Amino acid sequence: MSDHPINPLVLIGVGSSFGLSALSCHFYRVKNEELRKLKEIPIFKPDQHLLELLKASPRKRFPYIAVQGLVQPDGEPLASEFVPRRFGVVQKISEEEHWEYWNSLTKTWDSRSTNRKQTNHTVPFSLVALGGHTTPGGHDGVGDVYVKVQNPLEATGLDLDRVHRLRHAAEGGVSDAILEDLSGERVVAKAESEELLRVGATVTGFGELVLEADAGAGGRVMRLQAPKDGRPFILAPTDYKSYVAWHDSSASLWKMLAVACGAVGTTVLAGTIYDFLKKLYRP
């Protein structure tokens, strides 16, 4: 009888399957707990009902809630630099150069990206209920109920809509080519992109809601800001149901992966034990 009746590779595979199953189970518990806490957060629209509840609350604030509304600039919005008649309230413009450098060992030009530059711009904006004003120029501040968003660049989860991306070859003359050959580096392409949080987009914000004491609209202005208790300040560019569904799908994915890895490990282990016992008691 062999000293090693069971293939070590099989044992490694079984151990890896159970290890992945345990890791996936851990991530499932974490995601499931996040989902449970997410569903406990009260969700509101920026309307009169929310305003009355906030006025009646202690200290005129809610420590942590979710508000779903449409993006509305408080004044003039940001115009896209590349797309006509496209407006937003948060703008990110990125520029990147793609270089090649001479590798003397392989005698080839190797590529790399460098000199990345990003500029961020934002204008004050609010969340309004469906049916509110969402055109460039902003609300009039009188009679409207809206939630102002404070310091949006501090929030997480704000994935902007890419409205422009262009990659073009670098231009240069004969003198540039000579200098590049001497230095062993050359610019081969340049890329630029623009992202916007567009006017009229649906956003769900998670944070602390307070009533502005100096509101010129008769105490009707609410402000969403980063919570003071350490909970995350989130601006999700989607509606509340889709945001919850995404977290639910993520948790379900980890659960299925945990079950699948566990099933594979159990099946292989059972088959290995069966073959071992069959050989052990073979007449």
Model confidence pLDDT, tens digit, residues 146-194: 999 999 999 998 889 888 887 766 555 444 545 455 556 666 677 888 9
Query: Does residue 107 register a pLDDT over 80?
Result: no
Mean pLDDT of 100-124: 76
**How far, in Å, are 35, 98, 185 from residue 178 at the CA level?**
59, 18, 11
- State the pLDDT confidence band at 142, using cuts at 50, 70 and 90: very low
pLDDT tens-digit map of 44-103? 999 999 999 999 988 899 999 999 999 999 999 999 988 899 999 999 998 887 777 777
* 101/141: higher pLDDT: 101
Tell whether the model's pLDDT for residue 136 goes beyond 90: no
Nearest-angstrom CA–CA distance, 210 and 53: 11
Q: Which residue has the higher pLDDT, 256 or 2?
A: 256
68 or 21, which is more confident:
68
Q: Which pLDDT value is given to residue 137? A: 54
Look at residue 169 in the predicted model and tell me its pLDDT. 62
Which of 2-6, 17-21, 110-114, 259-263 bottoms out in mean pLDDT, i.e. has the lowest? Answer: 2-6
Query: With contact defined as beta carbons under 8 Å apart, do 55 and 219 qualify?
Result: yes
What does the pLDDT read at residue 3? 52
Q: In this predicted model, what pLDDT tens digit does every residue of 195-233 receive, in sequence order?
A: 999 999 999 999 999 998 654 555 568 999 999 988 999
Q: Residue 173: what pLDDT?
A: 47
Mean pLDDT of all residues in the chain? 82
Cα–Cα separations (whole angstroms), residue 215 to 181, 210, 240, 251: 63, 11, 28, 42
Residue in the structure block whose two tokens are 């993006």: 71
* Between 142 and 269, the higher pLDDT residue: 269
